[in-house]
Amino acid sequence: MTYDTQSYTSGALSGSAYGIIGLSTLIALCYIIPAIFLIQFLGRKCQVKPLVLVFALIGGFFITGWLAGSANTFSHEWVTARLSSKNFFYRFEDAIMAPLVEEPLKLAAFIFAVYVVPTKSYKGLLLVAITAGLSFQISEDFSYILSDLPDGFSYTISGILGRTIGAVSSHWLYTSFLAMGLVLIWRSRQNLISSKYSLIDMLYACGAFAAHLLEIYLFEI
For residue 160, tell me if it sits in a domain: no
What amino acid is encoded at 156 in this protein? T
Provide the number of structural domains found in the chain: 1
pLDDT at 48 over 50: yes
Number of helices (H), then strands (E), belonging to the chain: the values are: 9, 0
176-193 per-position pLDDT tens digit: 989 988 888 888 777 777
Q: What would the mean pLDDT of 12-38 be, rounded to a whole number?
A: 91
User: What letter would DSSP give residue 149?
Assistant: G
For residue 29, tell me if it sits in a domain: no
End-to-end CA distance of the chain: 35
Kindly indicate the confidence band of residue 41, based on its pLDDT and cuts at 50, 70 and 90: very high
pLDDT at 163 over 70: yes
Please give the pLDDT value at position 221: 42
Please give the pLDDT value at position 26: 97
Chain mean position to CA 140: 7
Task: Report the C-alpha gap between 138 and 143 in whole angstroms.
Answer: 9
For residue 158, tell me if it sits in a domain: no
Task: Report the C-alpha gap between 198 and 206 in whole angstroms.
Answer: 12
Range of the domain at 139: 38-143+169-220
For residue 25, tell me if it sits in a domain: no
For residue 8, tell me if it sits in a domain: no
Please give the pLDDT value at position 184: 86
More confident residue, 29 or 147: 29
94-128 per-position pLDDT tens digit: 667 777 788 888 999 999 999 999 999 999 999 99
For residue 189, tell me if it sits in a domain: yes
